[in-house]
Structure 1
Amino acid sequence: MALIGMIKNFASTYKLPIAVISIVLFSTVFVVSEKALDITENPSFCGKNCHIMRPYYDSWRTSSHNDVACVECHYEPGLIGHAKGKINGLIQFYNYQTTVEEYSGRLYAKVMDKNCLTCHEKRIYSSDIGYMGVNFSHKNHLLQPKRGVGVTCTSCHSMLVIGMKEHQSVTDPSCNQCHPNIVNQDVGHIVVTTSSCFTCHFRDVSGNTSISGCPSCHGPPKETHKNYTNFNHTSHVNKGYECVTCHTNISTGANDIVLKNKCYSCHSSRDRVERYDDFSFLHKKHVTTNKIACYECHSNVKHIPTIKENLCTTCHSQEHPGDWLTTHKKEVLIGKVCSNCHQPRFCSDCHATGVASGKKEK
C-alpha cells in the first residue's frame, strides 16, 4: 500500500512532465511503427533483402502489376487479414535471417480470388475477351466448375517466375505458330501460362483434340500462308473439315501419369497421400482451396500442331504432274510464282495471284 501511495504522490507532483513524456513516447512509438510498417510492406524490402525473393521481385517490377504493392495481393482484404499477413511475413523474415544454412523453406503464396476481384470484378461479367487470338470468358471459367474442378484466378494467372522457360506464358512460341502477329502484352508476374490451359483442354481427350473443340478458343487463322499459296482456313472449315484433317500433334504431354512419388516433394507423411486416386478431393484441396498451379503436379503441356506430310496432294493429287517440283526446281528456288509463266486460271485458286509474263489475266 505504501508503494501505491508513493506512486500516486509522485504522479500528483509531476503531472505535467509525465503527461509530456507520455505524449512524446506514444507519438514516437506511433511514428516508428508506421514507418516500420511502410518499410516492411514496400516490395523492395523483401525483394532486395531476401535473395531468394529477388527473381520474384524483378518479375513483379517488370510486369503490368508493378504499380500494385505486393501486400495488396498477398494479404487478405481487411484488418484481420492484414494483421495475419504481417505476422506471417515477419515470421518468414525471421526464419530466413536466423537460418545458418541455405534457407530451405518452400516458396509458396496463396492469392485469394477476392484480392483479384477488388480491382477486376467487372471482368467476370464482361463479354468474352479476345486475348492473344483466344476467345476467353472469365464467367464460364471462374463461376462454375470446369471438368469437375473449381478453378480460381491463379489457376490460369500463375505467379510463376523461376522456371518460366519450362512452363511458358502466353507469349511463348507455341501461340506464334498459328498467330504470327501476336504481341507480348504481359510478361512476368501473374501471366497466363499456356500449359495450365492445355492441361485442362487436352487431358483425357481421344482423337488428340481439345475437349471443347478448336473453335471454342480460336477460329480459323486469318493469316494467309506465305509459301506461294492462297490457302484459306475459313473456306475449308465451312466445308466441314475439322482441324485434325490437316493437323497432327495437336498436343503433347497432356495425358501424362502423375506419379505418387511426386506427392512427397511437398508431403513428408504417407498419411497425406492416402487419397491419391480421389480426383474430386485431390483437385478441390489443391486447386480450389490452396491455389496450387497445375504445373506443380502435371508435366508441361504443349499445343504446337504440325501439318501432315503431303497434305495438299491428298485431295489435290491431279492438279500437278508428279514430277512438277523436279522440273520446276529452278523457278521455285529463285522465287517465281505460277503466274510468271502460266495463265492464272486454276492456279490462282490455290497459289498467289499475279499476271503472267507479257499476258493479262483473264
Structure 2
Amino acid sequence: MFHPIKWLKELHKRMPLIGKISVLVLLLITITGGGVVSFKFYDFTENNPKFCVSCHLMEPAFTAWEKSEHKNVNCHDCHHLGIIDKNRLLISFVLHRPTSVPPRHGKIIVPWKQCITCHWEKNEEYPNAPRINQSRYHAKHVFMEQVECSKCHGYRTHKFTLEERYCTTCHQGREVHGDGMEKLACLNCHTDLTANLLPARKKCLFCHGSESVRKELIAGGTIDVTHFQPLPDVIKKAKKINVPADAPMQFYCYECHKPHAKIRPDWGDCLIRCHSDELYVGKHEMHVKTMGIKCVECHKPHSWRITQAQAKKDCITCHEYKSPEAFIGP
C-alpha cells in the first residue's frame, strides 16, 4: 500500500542539497506568484471600473459614468455589496444570463450615508467634493424628511446634477407662472439663505436688482447661486426695482408676489389682506371708493411712502398741491 508521507520522507533522504534548494525556490516562486496574481485580480475587481464594464449589462452605466462628475471616483467607493450579494449576483449571471439589469426590489443602490462620507465629512481622497454641511436644502430633505440622495441626484444612472425643474416631480402643481419666469429653474428663486428655502428678498434682486447685489450673492457661495444662476438675457430683461432702506413694509417679496399662482399682485388685495383699516384713515375712503383710485397710483411699489416731491408731481394732476401730512389729518 502506498504511503505518501513515508514516500516523501524517503525522497527527502535521497534528494541532494541542490535539489532541496531548487524545490524550496520553486515553492516560494509559486506561492509568491499566486499571491501577486490573486492580489492583482482582487484589485482589478474591487478598484478598477473597467471590471464593471466587462459585463455587457453595465456598458450604458459605464458610458454615463465616464461623462459624469464622478468619472474620477472608483465604482466601489460608492457601490458596496456584501459577500452574499456578490455571490448571488455572480450565480444569477452565470445561470440566467440576464439581458438587462435586474430590478432593485426596493433597495437603495447607494444610500445617503455613503454619499455624506465625501459630501458632508471631509474625504482626503476626494478633497474637492462639494460639501453640503452648510446647505439648508439638504438639511431639510435628507435629515428632516429622510429623502434619499439618489431620489434627486440619481434618478438617471450616473446623472448627478439636478435638472432645472426636477423639483416639480415631487412638488406637483408648483410650476412657475408669470411673464418671463415660466422656464426658470426652481433654484433660480428658492435659496439656502432662508430656513424655509423660500426666496429671500436679495435672491429676487439677483435678477431685479443691481450688479452689486449679484456679486454679493455669488460671493456667498450658496448652492442655488453656484449651480443655478439665471441666464444673462433673463437678468437683462427683468424689471429692475429699488427698495429704499427706510421704506415701510420690509417683508419678503412673496408676501405680495405669488410665483406659483400669479406673479403680479391684485392691488385690490391690499385693503383685503393687510390694510383693511386704512380705508378709514384720512382721505383714503374718498380717494378709493369715490374716485376709484388704486392704491399703487399713489403708493409706488417698493417705496410706498408718499413724499412731498412725489405729491408735487402726482397729486397736482387731480387737484392743487397739498402736503401728504394733510391727507392723514382731519
Which TM-score band applies after superposition, normalised by the shorter structure? 0.3 to 0.5
Higher RCO structure, 1 or 2 (CA under 8 Å, sep 6+): 1
Question: Structure 1 length normalisation: TM-score?
Answer: 0.44
- Report the structure number with the largest CA radius of gyration: 2
Give the structure-2-normalised TM-score: 0.47
